């Protein structure tokens, strides 16, 4: 009997595992907060922040390493393939350490981009035989940079969404939970199912501290790690035929819409569009309403009541995927266009 069977064999087993990982992460977040204050790993108020107090940052290192330790344990027990171990275990470690260093020293943008490209190349290196099952010739040279650009975009997109309390953390909890639900619905208890569940339990504990008003930030240690992991999950599941790219687009509907519209609009309106900013629609709305809670809560409700049913629809009725993508992304596109960079520049 595999570990997957043990944990998902009964509801009590699943709950016990979830509670154990959840509780362990709570303890570790408490300890990290003390260390962050002691060593000055803090986010100080500046022109980009929506806070007035100094708050510990880099807290994403807790749930990131919780997930990574789980990956190492699974690999040690021969319950995880070598590919996933190297992609999520070693690659994930590099991603979280890179993000944590950036939280402390603020790495220059060009260096960050180069490291993100290397992380993307690492994923594609280990999945090359699954992506290119046949000799593709010129197409291979087109697909490789396209996939690399896509992964880099996912890493940055997730980083962009960590702009108000709870936004990125609740998003990760929703995504991993939705993925776990899909795997259970389709009776696909693969090695990925356990990883989705593990990520949901790890991030879930962090939300208690990051929910508005937050008393700790995940920082790049968390957002870059999550972007990297979800980028890897997308490539793995799509090329293995376990999930459609359309299902992913629906599930990430709001995040994709906001980041895409914001970046395109800034390229048109702002000369130095690549610099740090706070002109995402959700950030502008948080300032207008004076509440992080209202915006994070509304996006969470949108995820659960609108995007989740549409996501499950793409799994049950694949022929409706295109319509589901349109219904999922359109609201986010409208909000991002109306309340994003255009509003900031007005």
pLDDT at residue 10 in the model: 60
The tens place of each residue's pLDDT in the chain, 346 residues long, gives 455 565 556 656 677 888 899 999 999 999 999 999 999 999 887 655 566 678 999 999 999 999 999 999 989 988 899 999 999 999 999 999 999 999 999 898 899 999 999 999 999 999 988 876 544 555 667 888 889 999 999 999 999 999 999 999 999 999 999 999 999 888 888 889 989 999 999 999 999 999 999 999 999 999 999 999 999 999 999 988 899 999 999 999 999 999 999 999 988 887 677 677 788 999 999 999 999 999 999 999 999 999 999 999 999 999 999 999 999 999 999 999 999 998 876 5
Q: Name beta bridge partners: 238.
A: none
Whole-angstrom Cα distance, residue 203 to residue 234?
19
**What pLDDT was estimated at residue 47?**
56
- Measured CA to CA, the distance from residue 6 to residue 13 in angstroms comes to 7
Q: What is the pLDDT of residue 104?
A: 93
- Identify the H or E element spanning 28: helix 11-39
Domain ranges of the chain: 1-242, 244-346
d(CA 160, CA 153): 10
pLDDT in tens, 49-60: 566 678 999 999
Task: Count how many Cα atoms sit within 13 Å of the Cα of residue 270 in the half-sphere of its side chain.
Answer: 21
CA distance 221 to 61: 5
Instruction: Report the distance separating Cα 17 and Cα 19, nearest Å.
Output: 6
- What pLDDT does residue 128 have? 85
């Amino acid at each position: 009997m595999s570990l997957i069977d043990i944990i998902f064999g009964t509801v009590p087993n699943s709950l016990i595992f979830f509670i154990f990982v959840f509780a362990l992460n709570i303890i570790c977040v408490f300890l990290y907060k003390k260390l962050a204050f002691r060593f000055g790993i803090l986010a100080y108020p500046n022109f980009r922040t929506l806070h007035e107090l100094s708050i510990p940052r880099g807290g994403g290192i807790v749930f990131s390493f919780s997930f990574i330790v789980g990956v190492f344990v699974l690999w040690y027990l021969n319950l995880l393939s070598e590919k996933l171990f190297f992609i999520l275990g070693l690659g994930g470690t590099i991603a979280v350490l890179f993000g944590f260093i950036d939280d402390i020293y603020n790495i220059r943008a060009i260096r960050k981009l180069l490291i993100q490209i290397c992380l993307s190349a690492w994923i594609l290196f280990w999945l090359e035989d699954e992506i290119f099952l046949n000799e593709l010739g010129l197409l291979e040279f087109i697909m490789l940079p396209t996939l690399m650009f896509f992964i880099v975009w996912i890493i940055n997109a997730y980083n962009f969404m960590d702009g108000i309390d709870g936004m990125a953390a609740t998003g990760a909890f929703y995504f991993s939970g939705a993925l776990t639900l899909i795997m259970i619905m389709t009776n696909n208890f693969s090695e990925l199912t356990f990883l989705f569940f593990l990520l949901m339990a790890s991030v879930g504990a962090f939300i208690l501290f990051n929910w508005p008003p937050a008393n700790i930030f995940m920082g790049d240690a968390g957002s870059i790690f999550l972007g990297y992991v979800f980028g890897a999950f997308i490539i793995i599941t799509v090329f293995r035929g376990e999930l459609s790219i359309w299902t992913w687009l629906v599930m990430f509907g709001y995040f994709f819409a906001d980041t895409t519209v914001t970046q395109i609009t800034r390229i048109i309106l702002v000369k130095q569009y690549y610099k740090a900013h706070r002109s995402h629609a959700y950030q502008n709305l948080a300032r207008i309403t004076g509440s992080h809670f209202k915006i994070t809560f509304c996006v969470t409700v949108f995820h659960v009541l609108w995007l989740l049913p549409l996501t499950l629809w793409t799994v049950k009725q694949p022929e409706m995927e295109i319509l589901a993508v349109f219904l999922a992304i359109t609201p986010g596109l409208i909000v991002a266009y109306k309340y994003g960079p255009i509003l900031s520049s007005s």
